[in-house]
Amino acid sequence: MSEQTLPRTKPWYFLPSVIIVAGCLVAMVNFGIRSSFGLFTGPISEAHGWPRETYSIAIAIQNLLWGIATPISGALADRYGSARVLMGGAVFYAVGTALMAGAASPAMLHFSGGILIGIGIAASSFGIVMAAFGRLVPPEKRSWAFGIATAAGSLGQFIFAPLGGALIPAFGWYQALLILAACALLMIIFAFPLMAQNTSKSALPPGEAEMTLRQAIKAAFGNRSYNLLTAGFFVCGFQLAFVTVHLPPYLQEHGISAGFAGLAMGAIGLFNVAGSYYSGIIGGRHSKRIPLSIIYLLRSIAIVAFILLPVTDVTTIIFTASMGLLWLSTVPLTMGLVTVLFGTRYMATLYGFVFLSHQVGSFFGVWLGGRLYDQFGSYDPVWWMGAALGVFAAIIHLPIREQRSTSFVQPAPA
C-alpha cells in the first residue's frame, strides 16, 4: 500500500467529542459575558450622569442587532461553515466591549455596546454552534445535543454573572469591561475544532429537497407552524431581556446588594443548565409544542408571584432559580421544531429568522423597561406585560403541527 493510499486519521481536535466540547465552550463564553451587562446599568449611568434609558437603549440596540445579524450569520455558516463565523463574531464582541468601556457619549455607547456587540453576539452565538451540532449528530440525538449547547450557555451565565458582580467592586466597572473583552477573544481558540466542518457549500442531507436558500426562506414563511413558532419566540425575548438587564437594578432598589444580585443572576444560569439539558431530552422523546406551552405558562406564574411577594433574599433566589429552570429551555425545543419542519440544510438561517423575532421582543423588553421606569419610577408595568405575553405564547404554540413541510421533502423517484 503506497503512502498516498494510506487512510488518513483526523487530528484529535477534529473528533466529534472534541467538537462538541469546543462548541459548548464557545456558547459558554458568548452567553456568559452578555449576561453580566445588566450589572453595569447603574454604574455606567451614574458615572456619566445619564438617565437609565440611555443604557437601556444601548442594550436594546444590542439585542435588535443580535437578531438582525443572526439570519445573516446563519446563512454564512450554512454556506462556509461555522468556525470562521464564530471567530469573526468573537472579534466584534471583544472590540465592542472594550469600546463600551471608553464610551464618553450616548452615541458611542450605542455604537459599541449596541451595534458592535450585537453583531458579535449573533456571529458567535449558540445558534451557530447548534447548526454545526445538527449536522454532526444523528437525528435521534439531535435534540439532546441542542440541550447540551444551551446548557453550556447557561453555565456561562452561572460563571460570568457572579464574576461580573465581583469584578466591578474589585477593579471598577471600566476595568471589569476590559477583562470581559479579553475573555471574548477566547472564543477564537475554542472555535478552532469546528474548522473540521467548514465547507464551501452546505451538503444536501439525505431525504431533503434540493432548493436554493431563497426558496427555503419563502417556503418557511408560508408555513403556519413556523409563523406561530416565530411569534412565540418574540415573547421569550421580551421576558428574558427585561429580566437580564433590569432585574439587578430592581433588586438593588429593594435593598438587595449588588453582590447578591450577581449571585441571583448566576442562579439563573446554574438552574438553566438543568432546565436546558432536560428540555433537550424531553424534546427528543416527546412532542415539542406542549412543553413549550407549559414553559411559557410557568414563567408567567413565576413573574406574578415574584411581583406580588415582598422582595427578599429568599424570594429573589426562589424566583431566579424558577426562571432558570425555564430560561433557555425553550431553545432546544424551538430549534428542534425548526429541524422537524425543514430539516438541517438551512437550519442556521431559518432558526435565525425565528431568533430575529426573539430579539425584536428583547429590544422592546429592554427599552420599555428603561422608558417606563423613567416615566413611572417603577418596573411594575413591564413585569405585568411580561406575564400577560407569557400566557399569549402558551396559547399560540398549541396549534403547531410537528411534521416535515412538504416543500422540504425530496420527491420520491418515479
CB 259 within 8 A of CB 410: no
pLDDT score at 207: 60
Read off the amino acid at residue 295.
I
User: Which residue carries 463565523 as its cell?
Assistant: 85
Residues 6+ apart with CB under 8 A from 162: 262, 263, 265, 266
Q: Per DSSP, which regions of 221-300 are E strands? A: none
pLDDT score at 38: 80
CB 63 within 8 A of CB 69: no
**What grid cell was written down for 271?**
438552574
List the beta bridge partners of residue 208.
409
**What grid cell was written down for 295?**
414553559
Q: Which residues of the chain have pLDDT under 70?
A: 1-16, 134-138, 140, 142, 196-209, 409-414
Backbone angles phi, psi at 84, to 5 degrees: -65, -35
User: Which residue carries 408560508 as its cell?
Assistant: 222
**What grid cell was written down for 7?**
487512510
C-alpha 28/C-alpha 24 separation (Å) is 6
Reduced to 3 states (helix: H, G, I; strand: E, B; else coil), residue 352 is helix
pLDDT score at 6: 44
Residues 6+ apart with CB under 8 A from 308: none
Angle among Cα 406, 129, 364 to the nearest 5 degrees reads 80
CA 279 to the chain's CA centroid:
15
**What grid cell was written down for 370?**
428603561
CA atoms within 13 A on the CB side of 103: 27
Q: Per DSSP, which regions of 336-409 are E strands? A: none
pLDDT score at 203: 54
C-alpha 319/C-alpha 303 separation (Å) is 8
pLDDT score at 223: 92
Query: Which DSSP string corresponds to 264-279?
Result: HHHHHHHHHHHHHHHH
User: Which residue carries 415539542 as its cell?
Assistant: 288
CB 20 within 8 A of CB 133: yes
Q: What is the CA radius of gyration of the chain?
A: 21
C-alpha 247/C-alpha 327 separation (Å) is 14
**What grid cell was written down for 78?**
450554512
Query: Dihedral angle at the C-alpha atoms of 59, 64, 65, 66, nearest 10 degrees?
Result: 90
**What grid cell was written down for 82?**
461555522
- How far is CA 183 from each of CA 75, 91, 283, 300, 392, rounded to the nearest angstrom? 26, 11, 32, 34, 38
- How far is CA 391 from each of CA 229, 384, 396, rounded to the nearest angstrom? 14, 11, 9
Of the candidates 354, 380, 136, 167, the one whose C-alpha atom is nearest the C-alpha of residue 262 is 167
Of the candidates 129, 136, 164, the one whose C-alpha atom is nearest the C-alpha of residue 150 is 129
pLDDT score at 3: 47
Please report, rounded to a whole number, the percentage of residues in the chain having pLDDT higher than 90.
36
- How far is CA 141 from each of CA 223, 229, 282, rounded to the nearest angstrom? 25, 22, 11
Read off the amino acid at residue 95.
V
Q: Per DSSP, which regions of 51-153 are E strands? A: none
